[in-house]
Amino acid sequence: MTEQDFILKSYNSNIESGSVKWESPSNIALVKYWGKKDHQIPENPSISFTLSDCKTITEITFTKRDPSAVLKVTPSFDFDVYFEGKKNEAFKPKIQTFFERIETYMPFLRDYHFKIETSNTFPHSSGIASSASGMSAIALCLMSIERLLSTDVISTERSMSDEKSHFNQKASFLARLGSGSACRSIEGELVVWGKNESIAESSDLYGVKFEGDVHSNFNNYQDTILLVDKGEKQVSSTVGHQLMYGHPFAQERFKQAHENLAQLKTILASGDLDEFIKIVENEALTLHAMMMTSMPYFILMKPNTLEIINKIWAYREKTDSKVCFTLDAGANVHVLYPQKEQDSVLEFIKNELIRYCQNEHYICDQIGKGALQINS
């Protein structure tokens, strides 16, 4: 697929109004994406677990605009955003930029007023990737609107599965233009984004469902998120990605990510949890090492982040548990573990780790199946 394949060629702009609603999950990368080229193209491939319960629920109501008003309104896109029931102006610039990026592929955006109502099942600014769930939910709503408006004739030779595949690919493609990691939130349980020789269908343009063999050890894998710091990050991910330009270790890092993804494909098939732990924890620490060695340099981990990591290592050494950690670009810790260890690991978390969380807050989640349309 190329960018040209995602351009909507014809649509019925006479449809007056409608409403669509989707829920889309966050995701947690196992091999990390850090560094991007122009147009939200990743410098290296990544693979993520799609989460189940940490998700964004978004409804978009669209209403036909008066054609004479379209030329007079500035900016040219007409939309309002409501977050958890309240009008939110702070989110508008990011969505404005998103609409500008995707207009070529969705030319009907100027024809309608959009009321975007969104909410999260997790605390905003909690360190969970809300941009991934949020932008993917918007992209999916827009795809459903496109489906309602489209006048493209679907060939009888084109199966329902092919149509669903195109829908998901374009949704992921659009979501990427809003937030890179959002392209990994459309499907589940594992999603790859970025071209890699070991994954035949992988692409820089959109995320693809991992179709390799996955051992039963990874069924219903658990992710408990320890909220060490619920404040806004000192440095945005956008700035962090930009600091990879000219980074002295960037090229080696990109090479490492390719190699780790290829190794992880084998590990997922074999079910080797010890090797899984090595790759996942190394990726998390490498991500933060790149931040600490950029110019300017910065540290997003907090003292309690390190306390938790050391506690996990000590617990694993003592009990031979297969629990491990990963980190996003922030202070909070994702504790990953097999479902069969759920009771023992949660007891460990409650007894030893929640004291390091802000207000002792943590969120229990697990690997999920991807986004879901709530109404037609």
Q: What is the model's pLDDT at position 233?
A: 72
What tens digit of pLDDT does each residue of 12-70 get? 988 999 999 999 999 999 999 999 999 999 999 999 999 999 999 999 999 999 877 65
DSSP string, 80-112: EEEETTEE-STTHHHHHHHHHHHTTT-GGGGGE
Q: What mean pLDDT is predicted for residues 212-231?
A: 95
Considering the entire predicted model, what is its pTM? 0.94
For residue 328, the model assigns a pLDDT of 94
Q: What is the pLDDT of residue 362?
A: 96
User: What burial letters (b/e) apply to 98-110, b meaning 16+ CB within 10 Å?
Assistant: bbeebeebbbbbb
Q: Quick one: pLDDT band at residue 156, thresholds 50, 70, 90?
A: very low
For 171-193, the pLDDT digits (tens) are 999 999 999 999 999 999 999 99
Confidence band for 291, pLDDT divided at 50, 70 and 90? very high
Confidence of residue 128 (pLDDT cuts 50, 70, 90): low
Check: CB of residue 207 under 8 Å from CB of residue 190: no
- Indicate the angle between helix axes 250-270 and 273-292, nearest 10 degrees: 160
Please say whether the beta carbons of 296 and 302 come within 8 A.
no
Confirm if 116 and 95 have CB atoms less than 8 A apart: yes
Average pLDDT over residues 263-285: 98
Decide: 7 and 104 in contact? Cβ < 8 Å. Answer: yes
Cα 37 to Cα 123, 173, 196, 268: the distances in Å are: 31, 15, 16, 29
Average pLDDT on 144-162 reads 75
- Asked if 219 and 339 touch (Cβ cutoff 8 Å), the reply is yes
Q: What is the DSSP string of 132-164?
A: HHHHHHHHHHHHHHHHHHB-PPPPTTS-HHHHH
Q: Is pLDDT above 90 for 155?
A: no
Residue 43 makes CB contacts below 8 A (sequence gap 6+) with 33, 34, 35, 36, 37, 244, 250, 254
Question: By mean pLDDT, which of 122-126, 149-153, 154-158, 309-313 is the weakest?
Answer: 154-158
Q: What is the DSSP letter of 320?
A: -
Average confidence (pLDDT) over 344-373: 97
| Residue 161: pLDDT over 80 | no
Rg (CA), the chain: 21
- Is the predicted pLDDT of residue 72 greater than 50, yes or no? yes
**Residue 375 confidence (pLDDT):** 78
* φ, ψ dihedrals at 332, nearest 5°: -75, 155
Average pLDDT, the chain: 93
3-state class percentages of the chain: helix first, strand second, coil last, to nearest 5: 40, 25, 35
Q: Where are the alpha helices (DSSP H) in 43-91?
A: 67-70
Region 104-123 average pLDDT: 95
Q: Where in the chain is the domain with CATH 3.30.230.10?
A: 3-211+369-375
Cβ-proximal residues to 90 (8 Å cutoff; 6+ apart), any chain: none
- Give SS3 for 301: coil
pLDDT at 151 over 90: no
HSE at residue 174, side-chain half, CA atoms within 13 A, is 32
Domain 226-366 has CATH 3.30.70.890: yes
**Angle, alpha carbons 107-156-162 (nearest 5°):** 65
Q: What is the mean pLDDT of residues 294-308?
A: 97
Position 153 scores a pLDDT of 56
In this prediction, residue 232 carries a pLDDT of: 72
Residue 158: its pLDDT value, please? 55
Percent of the chain residues past pLDDT 90, beyond the cut: 87
Query: CATH 3.30.70.890 in the chain, residues?
Result: 226-366
29-32 — which CB contacts under 8 Å span 24+ positions? Answer: 29/181, 29/184, 29/283, 29/326, 29/328, 30/264, 30/279, 30/280, 30/283, 30/326, 31/257, 31/260, 31/261, 31/264, 31/279, 31/283, 32/257, 32/283, 32/284, 32/286, 32/287
Q: Residue 126 above 80 pLDDT?
A: no
- The reported pLDDT for the residue numbered 235 is 81
Q: Distance (Å, rounded) from C-alpha 28 to C-alpha 350?
A: 22
Assign 154 a pLDDT band (cuts: 50, 70, 90): low
Q: Looking at domain 3-211+369-375, which CATH architecture does it have? A: 2-Layer Sandwich (3.30)
Integer Cα distance of 203 and 200 in angstroms: 9
